[in-house]
Every structure is written in C-alpha cells, then in structure tokens.
Structure 1
Amino acid sequence: MSRGRVLVVEDDAALAELLDWHLSREHFDVERAINGEEALLLARESTPDLVLLDWMIEGLSGIEVCRRLRRMPDTAKVPIIMLTARTDEADRIRGLETGADDYVSKPFSPKELIARVNALLRRVRPALAGEQLVFEDIAMDTVGHKVHRAGKPVALGPTEFRLLRHFLEHPGRVFSRERLLDSVWGRDSEIEIRTVDVHIRRLRKAINGEDLPDVIRTVRSAGYALDKAGDIA
C-alpha cells in the first residue's frame, strides 16, 4: 500500500539513489528529477505529496523551484523539505521564508530524514500520514486501531498499541525507559520503570509471533528502538 508520492530533486546520483531506496522501503512511490526545470515539469504533470528539494541543483536553483512551486495552484500547499550543505542561519531563514516547510543540512542520516518526512506529513497531510504508519512488514491503522504484520492481524492491548505507535513514529531512535514512560504513559504517571520492560515483552510476543524476526532492539543501558531485523545484533 503506497503512502504517497515523493518527488526527489537531487543532481547527485548516488544521494538520489540512496533517498529513493529509503523512501521506497517506507512504501512511498518515488519520482526523481535532476534539475529544477524537470522538477517543475513533473510536478505539473502529477502533483506530488511531498518534495525533497536540493538547494544547490544546477540551473534553476532549489530556492527558485520552491518559489515557483508555491505559486502553482496545484503545488501551493505541497510539503517541501530543503536539502542543503549550507548551514548559515540566514540561508535557513531564506529557505523557510521562500516556502519550505523544513530544512535538512547535509550530511544527514537517512533515518532522520525519513522521520522528518513522516513528521511533516502527519502535520500537514493528516489524511495521508496520520491514519497509516508503516515500518518494514508492520502496518498500523491508527484510526481503525488495527495492526498487521506480514499481512496478518496482530492483537494488541491498549498500552502495547500506544507503545508500538510511538516506535513507528520514530523508527531507529533509541528511547530510554524514562522517556517511554513520559511519552506513552504520561508525565504524571506513577508507573514503575520496570513496567516498561513488561510491556516491551508483551509487544514483542504479539508482533513477533512464533517465527517472525524481532524488530525491537534492546540497547544496553540505554533503552529500546524499532529497527529492521537485520540491524539488530
């Protein structure tokens, strides 16, 4: 199930390929442009759900592409994330004032970028991103309160559902037990720290079943993270 169409505007072939791979893995359809003119043409032909736009592309600059996308009726409200090696605050402000919704400095972690994409879509396109959270073979319908793994339904209690949702919203990020207590149970909760471990065990048992790979990584002295099975040592 596609989570939407992302237009990647990047003239560095290796980076464009890397972005394509990570976005496709998260179930986005990816279209690529190597310059500003091509990006505008593709955006006119089929409106993307989000644009990843390199500031320093050849020819028409990323800033100008952003400006023109904001002037086109069909793309005026499409989320735009600028990718740039520029770190000056003035440059960042200029990009945001031109119409960019977010700004990621190179070099960046692909996982962080995917998290930014997901967060931005949840904020500005809730119908697209808010109802369905996907990681690897796990899919969560946050409205219907349903979870599937490898196409099969997974029965979760309310706490395990909230815990999994938190992980799905921040894939790859390590959370301490204290942070999980704050985020999942609430800051005023009087639940003991060890309760987190109990619910992690329940969540693992539910989503892993008898023979599926474990996607919850335990980080010694740090906490837990949601990672693809191959990243778990």
Structure 2
Amino acid sequence: MELLWFALFAVLLIGYFALEGFDLGVGLLLPLLGRTWERRDRMIAAMAPFVLANEVWLVAVAGTLAGVYPEVESRVIPGLYPLVMAALIAWIARDAGLWFRRRLDGAGWRAVWDAMITLGSLGLTVTWGLALYALATGFTAPPLHPFGLALAAAVTVACAFHGWTFLCWRAPGLTGTARTGRGLAISALGTAAPAIAVVAAGAARLLSGTTTPAALSVLSLVVLPLVPVLAAAQLWVWRTFGRDAGDRGLPSFF
C-alpha cells in the first residue's frame, strides 16, 4: 500500500509540472509574444480550457502530502513558510489576472492584469524551483542558495519553453512554428525533470514518513475511487479542447 501511494504522489507531482508548466509558460511569454491585445487574447484563449483542470493536480498533490506523508508535510510548511506564502500570493495574482483582465475594456486595466499574469507565473516558477532545491537537500540548506537560484532559473526557462511549445502545438499562428504532440510531450517531460529528480532522491524519506496502515486504508477507500474520475476528466479536456479545436482566438475568462 505504501508503494501504491508513493507512485500516486509521484504521478500527481510530475503531472502538475508537465501540465501546469505550459500554463505558467504562456503567462511568462505574454510580454514577449503578446505584442498586441489581440495576440494576448489568443494566447490566453489557447490555454484557457486547461487551466482549472491543471490546477486540480496541485490540489491533489497537497492533499496527498498532508494525508499520506504528515511528517513530511509538517516539515514542509514551517521550513518553507515564506516560499509557501509567496507561491500562494503568486497563484492568486496569476488567476486574478486571468479572470479580471477582460472585465473592463480600458487599456490600463488590461495592462495591469496582464502584468499580474506574468508576475504571478514568474513567482510560481521561481518559488517552485527554490522549494524543489530545499526538498532535495532535506532542508539542510537555505533555498536562497546559488544552486537553489539556479534551479529556480532552470524551472522558469523550462516552463517558458514548454509554454512556447504548447502554443506551437495549439496555436501555431502565434509563433510561426508548428509542433507535434510528440514535441509537446517531450517538452512536458523536460519541464517535469526537476520534480522527477526530487521524487527519486527523496523516495526513502517519503516512504519512511508514510502514515499508519489504518489511515492508508481509510484514504484508499475514500480517495482511490476518485483517481479514475480525475484521469477521465483530464482526458475529456484534452479530447475536447486539444489541437483539433484550433486557434479560435476567442477571449476567455469572462
């Protein structure tokens, strides 16, 4: 049972980076590729159907960490409290930008919220890189270490590239380049590589901190039946709003 939950936690964390990574990447690229309001609308519209579905993976990661690995969770929150708070603020800013940017038509209004999308996306990639470094070192080194900053930069660049690859796949008119689904999958794997490395390095620590067998049994009865539902919902989103949906250029998040 411990190995099953470890595998599930690994899939959820890696899946979050592979999927949410391109959402963050598109946000990072708004100032670079979105030189006009119309182009920015098209960029946001390209990723809009996937945002909420991708964020569910992070909620599932947090729930699994708290329920299955309470000892690890009790160290993560106090040990990374500033990063956790910074990530929450960045997450709120990014999502607020997505929802509010088209509530009014003023150029200043839209510029502010578009900036919130980019800054929020940047905040999330940086905090994730620093957090992964802290987790990989077992909290023995401060996150603001040169290697931690280098990992934060690497995560940011990887997400930006993943966002560009996603746009090349779903809206090639925005980039002038087309990419296949295989290219998008390779990009997703590269974006998730830091998470894969951290999970692999921390496997023994996670397994040793697994909750009691009784608690695992209860969690298995309650949570595991929902896993196929999550997978089916994700599949539906990609089949419905995938590449065949085209670059419609429709504004979103009204």
TM-score by length of 2: 0.22
Structure ID, larger Rg: 1
Larger strand proportion of the pair? 1
TM-score by length of 1: 0.23
Larger helix proportion of the pair? 2
